[in-house]
Amino acid sequence: MKRLALSALACSALLAGCAGANMESLTQAGGSLFTAATLSDSNVKMLSDQSCAEMDQKNTIAPADSTYAKRLANVMSGLGNTGLPLNAKVYVTKDVNAWAMANGCVRVYSGLMDLLSDDEVRGVVGHEIGHVSLGHTKAAMQVAYTTAAARGLLGSTGVASLTALSSSQIGALAEQFVNAQFSQRQETAADDYSFDLLTKNGANRQALASAFRKMSTLDGGQSSMLSSHPGSLERAKHIEARLAGGR
């Protein structure tokens, strides 16, 4: 059923990208779309490794002895019990964003850290880890691959030649992934995962709600993160309801 659904999505994405495309480019995209529908866990991990490395090349990473890096180390120290091999770094940029990939690559933007306290950043990172643990990032990578293929950015790449993707192709795929949108159901599930993870680690759960309240002031497309994470105020209320209900 999942493969059928993804195949249907691939067809929709291909049709959406058909404007002005010739038959040769559509045929090439079709091969890549089939690849997206058959991506295995190992394929997704490999693409995540490549995409994360490409994003690291394009961004300025905070040095290990910087305030940002030390803050993130403190944040991550309170996020144990995930069972995931996490690799977290800070991108020095004014953008307000954070994301995680299926390989455990976690990237937090300094603009987000400037806005939030360490406890609040921990709640947000817990949310991003939730997307990984719950399988959302695997699906997002498949969708990113589908979208890039439909736009003719990946040529006729098949599963056997994923390792041959160029730097520009990996860059296009990474951008598609970072800008991916999750469903409201997935967002709520990731919020609940973060809340439960904070509980397991004895961390400040109220900070998750206050983080959403702070970010709600940026709603309206003013940050790349919030364009794909809608309804910050409602999400804060959901966490506050869980706190009030003792659950």
Give catalytic residue positions: 128
CA 54 – CA 57 distance, rounded (Å): 5
Half-sphere exposure of 3 (CA within 13 A, CB side): 6
Residue carrying the six token digits 């996490």: 86
Q: Which residues lie across from 89 on neighbouring strands?
A: 107
- Tell me the C-alpha to C-alpha distance, in Å, between residue 169 and each of 109, 204, 221: 23, 40, 27
DSSP state of 161: G
Strands (DSSP E) along 7-155, which ranges? 87-91, 98-100, 105-109
Q: Could you give phi then psi for residue 159, rounded to 5 degrees?
A: -55, -40
- The Cβ of residue 190 has, within 10 Å, a number of other Cβ atoms equal to 25
What is the C-alpha end-to-end distance of the chain, expressed in Å? 33
List % helix, strand, coil for the chain (3-state, nearest 5): 65, 5, 30
